[in-house]
Structure 1
């Protein structure tokens, strides 16, 4: 445990070193997460080799999803200004490609284990998650993931994920699991469709997973729906019909509002002979690409706010859900133990008293004398008998404590999952119901005024972090330099 705890602290130290250079404001946020961790450690809600800071991605993440041959790789290459990803009319890669910045001018491709074994990336131990839903597939992580490095300034400070073509009917369970995982972690999700296939009705399952299942999410605003390769429709008598067909298709699965982009890559665009139509297509393409690229550049800002919001939510849920739920579980446990003790020992005492009173109503005093003589004749003496009796009482009491705790485990697990309460409530509850804990102890271990004050301080620091970010990102003189849009 000590080695893993040391590894965690080393990981947090590396994170702080990175943030000190890339984003100094968030450096203090790590310290606030450490303060929250210390509270969780004291209360038994977290092991020393765990941290709330490792449960969120610190690097801005952009995922590019879409159907086969929707131009995802070509779009990424155009954005990066380098031909990094292979592209073609057919599916050229069936793995998720995580693209990260590197100062090395030579791009390198590393296997999936580089992501699965590195806690700095959002696919840390993804093999375990795949194994849970697709037995035997976890050991084949290299067939699902790969890591690529790229020396593009547009990639500095963020991660881009290029997904394999999406076909909900043919996809393996493991791929769907990874898709859902990156959707949850992403700050921006670009969903690309292929304008060369103007029959979106045939892709109903794909539309359901990429559109219908996402529009009701609380973070639905991070999804951008893009009809790519629209230049292929320029030769149609009425190219607007293609766009209208796609709008109807996504409207049928529930998306009736929001921006729907139509773009194509200038690097591989087909020639449009009609000059008027070409200018109209180029104007719309440039406007939409500009908006999309601006959103991609904005993710660093959004991630900073999102991290602070995650810290605030964790602290709020900790005080609103975790602690009250643990307190309620202990109250129920205490009540069950006390009631059981009263029933068992009270019943035993009552039965003994009743039997004694029925012994001829104490008419024969010799009966008492004989009983006392019998006790005194016991080889180990009355003191040993009393010790045995006390041991029996304590054994029954601790057995009752254990059974009362076990009887609440299922309820506590269900409530914890329902509320998504931070921390391991079952572990904390088990610690608070150990044999050495007094039953009438009112509060959970580690909880008190000082702990509550420490959490309040973390909450107040969140407000200061937001104010600092507001000052940085709303003051033009303090904004970082960005690469110019094309």
Structure 2
């Protein structure tokens, strides 16, 4: 097997964080070690990397109802007038150009540096036939605003009863899951419960992650701090009716300075780092907890089918022998000290290639099942690759159900990677404490199209 080459994506990430974030630079090294281990087990290709599962940009997303509150806030916050499609998920990316550009959803689906990478597969799985219509759901808009340098904003479409479908619900949950900060506009809770239940369900699923900032829009009013606190308390009580008990609140008024939102945005580098490290830990654990379990179950099923088929063939041969005994009487030959062993050897020599052929035929059906299972579990690892690597000659003949690579040595490697990840989280905690909740200093500002 060829040696694993370091992914270009990882090389660029390491260069990116060499001078700005030592924790993420070390995380890149751990991703590289995980890649090498997965490559040895035929789970990923030579140029592939597990680091692509998580966006390395700090991510902000918006979630709101059908009122213009969300879009008006973004225009004020960014200091620009956005021209976006209200029914699409729009990724806003910084550009130094004064002219904004709108790119199709395929730009997001094909670029591993951006969120929604290969999302067309999830769309197709959610609604067959829609995966090829990714441009109907996504777009990328470049914006000349310093507020989103080093960051991305995902503006989700307004809840529209005429446009809601299973794909939109899936994409909203996906956006909520990958975001470091979610600005939830309270008009979301004033829409028809039939259409906002999926959005609220995604909030409930992740409400303990401290990523939600509930935005109460009263930008047409001039309110004093006491009145704003009363409004917040009222909304806190109301949201408990939906099962939402966590999250922070901010009231937008004519005289508000958005200081809390600015602070959360400025701290997104730390939030992003925790998310990337969480993705790294989940990827490491998934090798043992998901990948190995799935492939071992597939091997067990495959062996049961192969053995059953071979037993049927053997039974047919025994029946032929019995018929031959009735016709001409040949059983005495089996007890002959010279001929008997030769017959047994000949029988084994005949059944071994038959068993190998049977195994290959059944393997094709199992591989197809693993492809479907991989899509269903949304795994980037090639389950069939590990399965096929486990089909060596002796593994086919012997009662071995463990996949190649499920060894004490590899488990020790995975445990070591987990310990390194925990050390990085601790280092990030120390870094976060020293920074006193200020953004980690950075001298590099990625431009549109950078490998970030």
Question: TM-score, normalised on structure 1?
Answer: 0.71
3-state SS of the aligned residue for 2:143? strand
Give the Cα separation in 2 of the matches to 1:258 and 1:251.
Answer: 9
Offset of residue 409 of structure 1: 6.2
Which residue of 234, 243, 249 corresponds with 1:261?
A: 249
5+ long unaligned stretches in structure 2? 443-452
* Structure with greater contact order relative to length (CA < 8 Å, sep ≥ 6): 2
Whether 1:463 aligns to 2:391 is no
Matched, 1:120 2:108: no
| Other-structure match for 2:92 | 99
Alpha-carbon separation, structure 1, partners of 2:181 and 2:58 = 9
User: Of 414, 428, 442, which residue of structure 1 is paired with 2:386?
Assistant: 428
Q: Decide which moves more: 425-434 or 306-315.
A: 425-434
Bigger Rg over Cα: 1
Report the alpha carbon displacement of residue 475 of structure 1 after superposing the two structures with TM.
Answer: 1.6
Partners of 1:32 and 1:144 lie apart in 2 by: 32
Distance, in Å, in 1 between the alignment partners of 2:328 and 2:395 is: 41
CA drift at 1:141: 1.6
1:343 offset after TM fit, Å? 5.8
Partner secondary structure for residue 40 of structure 1: helix
Contact kept, 8 Å, 1:43 with 1:447, in 2: the verdict is: no
Report the Cα offset of residue 122 of structure 1. 0.6
1:321 corresponds, among 286, 290, 302, to 290
Tell me if 1:475 matches 2:444.
no
The structural deviation recorded for 1:53 is 0.9
Deviations 1:354-400 (A, max 9, x none): 7437746989x9xx9xxx9xxxxxxxxxx9x9999777534531243
How far does residue 100 in structure 1 lie from its aligned partner after superposition? 2.6
Q: Deviations 1:99-120 (Å, cap 9, x if unpaired)? A: 2334x26353231244343221
Cα 1:243–1:149 shift into 2, 3 Å: closer
- The aligned counterpart of 1:306 is 275
Query: CA 1:469–1:137 in structure 2 vs 1: closer, same or farther (change >3 Å)?
Result: closer
Q: Give 3-state SS (helix, strand or coil) of 1:122's partner.
A: coil
Which residue of structure 2 lines up, in the alignment, with residue 110 of structure 1? 102
CA distance 1:360–1:26, shift in 2 (3 Å): closer
CA distance in 1, matches of 2:273, 2:231: 38
2:200 corresponds in structure 1 to 211
1:190 Cα offset (Å) = 0.9
1:294 equivalent in alignment to 2:238? no
What is aligned with 2:80?
A: 83
Superposed CA deviations along residues 151-180 of structure 1, whole A, max 9, x for unmatched, are 41x433321122332224433555444333
- Change beyond 3 A, Cα 1:204–1:242: farther
Which of 142, 150, 155 does residue 148 from structure 1 map onto? 142
Q: CA deviation at 1:207?
A: 3.5
Residue 243 and residue 230 in structure 1: after superposition, are their counterparts in 2 closer, same or farther (change >3 A)? farther
* CA–CA distance in structure 2, aligned partners of residues 259 and 145 of structure 1: 29
Aligned-residue offset at 1:239? 9.9
- Note closer, same or farther for the CA distance 1:233–1:310 as it changes in structure 2 (3 Å cut): same
Cα pair 2:93 2:142 within 8 Å, conserved: yes
- Aligned equivalents of 2:422, 2:156: Cα separation in 1: 36
The verdict on how the C-alpha distance between 1:136 and 1:339 changes in structure 2, with shifts beyond 3 A counting, is closer
Deviation of residue 22 (structure 1)?
3.7
Contact 1:84–1:150 (CA under 8 A) maintained in structure 2: no
Under a length normalisation based on structure 2, what TM-score does the superposition of the two structures give?
0.76
The answer to whether the 8 A contact 2:212-2:247 is kept is no
Q: Distance in 1 between matches of 2:165 and 2:179?
A: 21
Unaligned runs of 5+ in 1: 270-281, 373-382
Q: Is 2:209 aligned against 1:223? A: no
In structure 2, the partner of 1:10 is 8
Whether the 8 Å contact between 1:129 and 1:138 is mirrored in structure 2 is: no
Tell whether the 8 Å contact from 1:70 to 1:193 is kept in structure 2 after alignment.
no
CA offsets 1:282-324 (integer angstroms, 9 cap, x no match): 5xx55xx433332332222122122112212221221233224
CA distance in 1, matches of 2:85, 2:41: 51
SS of the residue corresponding to residue 215 of structure 1 reads helix
Match of 1:376? none
Deviates more, 1:466-475 or 1:125-134: 125-134
What is the correspondence of 1:228-239 to structure 2 with a 5 Å cutoff?
A: 228-229=217-218, 231-232=220-221
Specify which of 169, 186, 189 is matched with residue 182 of structure 2.
Answer: 189
Equivalent residue of 1:398, what SS? helix
